[in-house]
Amino acid sequence: MRVAVMGAMPEEIEPLLDAVGEYESVTYADNRYYLANYQGLELVIAYSKIGKVFSTLTATTLIEKFGTDTLLFSGVAGAINDRLKIGDLIVATKLVQHDLDITAFGHPYGFVPEGKVFIESDARLLAVAKEVAQELKKPLYEGIIATGDQFIADPQRKEWIAQTFEADALEMEGASVALVCDALDVPFCILRSISDAADMDAGFDFDTFLKSSAKESADFILKMLDRLAS
């Protein structure tokens, strides 16, 4: 198995690089890719930089250039569902682009012709995530993640995303990564730990909790890798 493990920001993959120990670094398409062996799995680890475009480039590169056959995303997210508190884990059941809007032509939000509003996650990787949660006795929320090229720190925009897509959390990369994996038939799993509530305090909370929440997510991903290896 060749497993891609990606994040958007350096903080999101640093705990993974620390855990794998030795790795080789390859520069390609203006980014760095870290090749490592972990429990007999071949890993390719990378952070994309922020947003849908960079994450599309990185996900595509991980699959097409580095030949990965499974993709796990680890990172942080803003909470929409108020059951989700800072540090909690959410795994996406499906993902949507909340900022994709050609409603002027009668299409629903998040839809373009020949595309789909929601992209569904891989059932087997979801099951693996649930098994890990049970093993660790950690709550794992399953829900809808909304993605857009905006850091949301606005209760009104947050509420609109909640109502329009029934989304539980939001971030800036998941749906684009999901779209790439879906198109290329690569099973994927988008895992996030909450860093803020996408409200007026989001900027401050994000800065405060980025590292600790990114570590929560990365630690969980490592347990998923343990299971995929065995």
Interface ranges with ligand 4EH (CB under 6 A): 8-9, 50, 76-78, 151-153, 170-173, 195-196, 198, 202, 206
Give CA–CA dist 93/35, Å, rounded: 28
- Assess whether 216 carries a catalytic annotation: no
Give CA–CA dist 19/115, Å, rounded: 38
Whichever of 2 and 164 has its CB closer to ligand 4EH, that residue is 164
Task: Quote the least distance from Cβ 9 to ligand 4EH, whole Å.
Answer: 5
Q: Which residue is nearest to ligand 4EH (CB)?
A: 78
Q: Which of 88, 171, 173, 196 is catalytic?
A: 196
Task: Quote the least distance from Cβ 148 to ligand 4EH, whole Å.
Answer: 7
Question: Is residue 118 a contact partner of residue 96, using CB atoms and an 8 Å limit?
Answer: yes
- The terminus-to-terminus CA distance of the chain in angstroms comes to 11
Whichever of 97 and 228 has its CB closer to ligand 4EH, that residue is 97
Question: Is residue 92 a contact partner of residue 145, using CB atoms and an 8 Å limit?
Answer: yes
Q: Which of 11, 12, 168, 171 is catalytic?
A: 12
Task: Quote the least distance from Cβ 14 to ligand 4EH, whole Å.
Answer: 14
- Assess whether 201 carries a catalytic annotation: no
Question: How many other CB atoms are there within 10 angstroms of residue 115's CB atom?
Answer: 13
Question: How many other CB atoms are there within 10 angstroms of residue 114's CB atom?
Answer: 5
Whichever of 77 and 228 has its CB closer to ligand 4EH, that residue is 77
Whichever of 44 and 76 has its CB closer to ligand 4EH, that residue is 76
Whichever of 132 and 202 has its CB closer to ligand 4EH, that residue is 202
Residue 196 token pair:
């803020």
Q: Which long-range contacts (CB under 8 A, 24 or more apart) does 102-110 make?
A: 109/164, 109/165, 110/164, 110/165
Output DSSP code: residue 168.
S
Rg (CA), the chain: 16
Task: Quote the least distance from Cβ 196 to ligand 4EH, whole Å.
Answer: 5
Output DSSP code: residue 106.
T
CA dist 216 → 8, 136, 210 (Å):
15, 12, 10
Task: Quote the least distance from Cβ 84 to ligand 4EH, whole Å.
Answer: 12
3-state DSSP assignment of residue 22: coil
Residues tagged active-site: 12, 196
